[in-house]
Amino acid sequence: MIEQKKTGGSGRPFRFNELWIYAIILAILGGLFLWDGGFGENKDMSWNEFRQMMNQGAFTQITVDRGEKTATAQLNKRAADSLFTHRSPVLGREQKRIEYTVKTQIPTVDRFAEAYDTSGTTAKVAYKEESSRWISLTANIVPFIIIALFWIYIFRRSSGGAGGGVGGGIFNISKSKAQLYEKESTSVTFNDVAGLHEAKVEIEEIVHFLKNPAKYTQLGGKIPKGALLVGPPGTGKTLLAKAVAGEAHVPFFSLAGSDFVEMFVGVGASRVRDLFKTAKEKAPCIIFIDEIDAVGRARGRNNNLGGNDERENTLNQLLTEMDGFGTNSGIIVLAATNRADILDAALLRAGRFDRQIYVDLPDVHDRKEIFLVHLRPLKIDESVDVDLLARRTPGFSGADIANICNEAALIAARAGKEFISRDDFMNAVDRVVGGLEKKNKMTTEEERHSIALHEAGHATVSWFLQYANPLVKVTIVPRGKALGAAWYLPEERQITTTQALRDQMCATLAGRAAEEVFLGRISTGAANDLEHTTKTAYAMVAYYGMSDKLPNVNYYDMQGDGYGLTKPYSDRTAELIDEEAREIVRVEYERAKELLREHAEGLKTLTQLLLDREVIYTEDVEHIFGKRPWVSRTDKMILEREEKNQEKEQGQEQESTTPTTDTEATSNE
């Protein structure tokens, strides 16, 4: 079932709460089963017994049903007491019903009339017509009809068809759940996608294929059948698909990989067939499958002990539809996943997904563009520096940047501000990275001094190392699980040298080194630093070949390569790896202690400043130690890019002024 996405209109139809529906239906069923047609007690008897009681004047009213040939009589109090007497086992006293009746089968209506006339009773007689028989029959059938409707409703809800109108319900469970976006039904365009320049070029070419296919097919080429968007979460894969839907101006089918999965056997494959059948009718068109790893995992793993694997059946059908015996001319399949490594090889081959477009985390320039997009609806003041925000958020995805902008707006609103300032964005970054502030956490003066010395050690050593990340601020305000933190601007390097890794390790170990040198003891506060340093040291030795005794060798895990090896080295080599990693850590730890002893006075001044202010910035560290002698890599890149832009602008200005000069010269002549 292809559900077409309706646009326009803000009203939502009223939907009654399901719990109330269930409660009402169950109440009606319970009442019908408990109700016996009256509010008293009835007893069947023979015609002779009935006629004898009628002669004794035991009835107050008699009702005769002509169709069923029955007579129902209501007893007076004396007859009811003698015929219906009940004793409660709990109360031990008599209980009287309000209304008691007896019922009999009469021979004929005429014989009842003769017996009534000769009995001398004063009871009134009422005759029911034959139509009452149908009323009684209807009353008996109604509960079963309600039960049937109840179960139909349950099946419709379980299959996603309740309230869906025609086409919903368990009988249409094999229909596709894709939403259809018709031409120009979405407002997202490529202008709304900031950054991702290389990915946008690839995606825009697919849109051009659909808009003008003759341009590419006249030379004998074929339009690609599919493109797979791969990248970390939050990088904009789904946003790119939305932009394609807004730019292509062709029918766009959107669904998730989990929409194919169902508890019933064969439903997934049937939905795939229905999806492509509908897409062929509307070709040229685009099918977008989000999170395709839900059905596209490699086959042969976890085969459920030989049982039926519905996911593999769905994948087989998807492979056949994308590139099987039949052709799907005019259908382009887009898919997105952040787990391309687990997808089946047959799904990734050329002819199905001809292109794999990697949507990577944005760099500093892309982050600036993303910030500019999310800052449009915000009220910011002049203190907000977009370049600084882009540099302060390395490794952040587009979704993370949107979250920071929203957090900054909430922080400013909480403080009663009219505009969002630079400090609000800095606090938003700190909150996203480190967590909430915990100023009321119980700490003694000795602990505060130890924390301040630890963070000052990081700041001091990183200031005097060339390849250490530039310092932004240092704080001893607890955030999340951290008691203090030193914030840096990580260098976004494509390759990292041995000296850069060693400088970063030295700066990371400086907190523990400061405690040992100036306090004469160490604490558990450096656990995270030690974990990061140990991982880096082992990576240098085992993976990067940056060791004197084990150079140019990569001891990676071969388990996934089919060789069946989990440790491609001997025990002696393992001991060498341990020794080399420990030696690297020891050397950098000693270097950190030497730098701290060399700059002991500045370290003490910085520690006291931290205890007084709790938060210090780059300017404060520069005031104590002087200007840092090295320019960061990011600053160099920004300066080079600005110089290139200025040269380009100057060249354009010269080109624009040259024709004017020639014209003026000609006119003067």
Report how far residue 379's alpha carbon sits from residue 373's, in angstroms, rounded to the nearest whole number.
Answer: 13
Tell me the CA distances in angstroms from 117 to 60, 66, 127, 362, one per residue in order. 15, 18, 15, 103
Q: Is 197 annotated as a binding residue?
A: no
Q: Write down the catalytic residue from 312, 455, 580, 588.
A: 455
Q: Is 623 annotated as a binding residue?
A: no
Q: Which helix (H) or strand (E) holds 649?
A: helix 633-668
Q: Which amino acid is at 138?
A: T
Our CA dihedral for 347, 349, 351, 354, rounded to 10 degrees, sits at: 100
Tell me the CA distances in angstroms from 295 to 178, 276, 290, 298, one per residue in order. 15, 16, 11, 9
Report how far residue 186's alpha carbon sits from residue 246's, in angstroms, rounded to the nearest whole number.
Answer: 5
Looking up tokens 């170990």 gives: 509
Q: Which residues of 131-162 are buried (b: 16+ CB within 10 A; e: fewer)?
A: eeeeeeeeeeeeeeeeeeebeebeebbebbbb
Q: Is 163 annotated as a binding residue?
A: no
- For residue 41, list its beta bridge partners: 100
Report how far residue 333's alpha carbon sits from residue 356's, in angstroms, rounded to the nearest whole number.
Answer: 12
The DSSP call for residue 606 is H
Report how far residue 315's alpha carbon sits from residue 318's, in angstroms, rounded to the nearest whole number.
Answer: 5
Q: Which amino acid is at 241?
A: A
Nearest C-alpha neighbor of 437 from the set 483, 404, 486, 489 = 483
Nearest C-alpha neighbor of 609 from the set 414, 459, 506 = 459
Report how far residue 487's alpha carbon sits from residue 439's, in angstroms, rounded to the nearest whole number.
Answer: 18
Q: Is 454 annotated as a binding residue?
A: yes
Start-to-end CA distance of the chain, whole Å, equals: 77
Q: Is 235 annotated as a binding residue?
A: yes
Q: Read out DSSP for 305-334?
A: GGS--HHHHHHHHHHHHHHSSS--TTEEEE
Q: Is 458 annotated as a binding residue?
A: yes
321: which 2 tokens? 């539809």
Nearest C-alpha neighbor of 486 from the set 610, 628, 631 = 610
Can 669 be counted among the known catalytic residues? no
Report how far residue 253's alpha carbon sits from residue 258's, in angstroms, rounded to the nearest whole number.
Answer: 15
Q: Is 238 annotated as a binding residue?
A: yes
Q: Which residues have CB under 8 Å from 495's CB, separation 6+?
A: none
Q: Is 231 annotated as a binding residue?
A: yes
Beta strands in 548-642 (DSSP E): 615-617
Q: Is 234 annotated as a binding residue?
A: yes
Binding residues are 231-238, 454, 458, 529
Binding site as annotated, residues for ATP: 231-238
**Which residues are designated catalytic?**
455
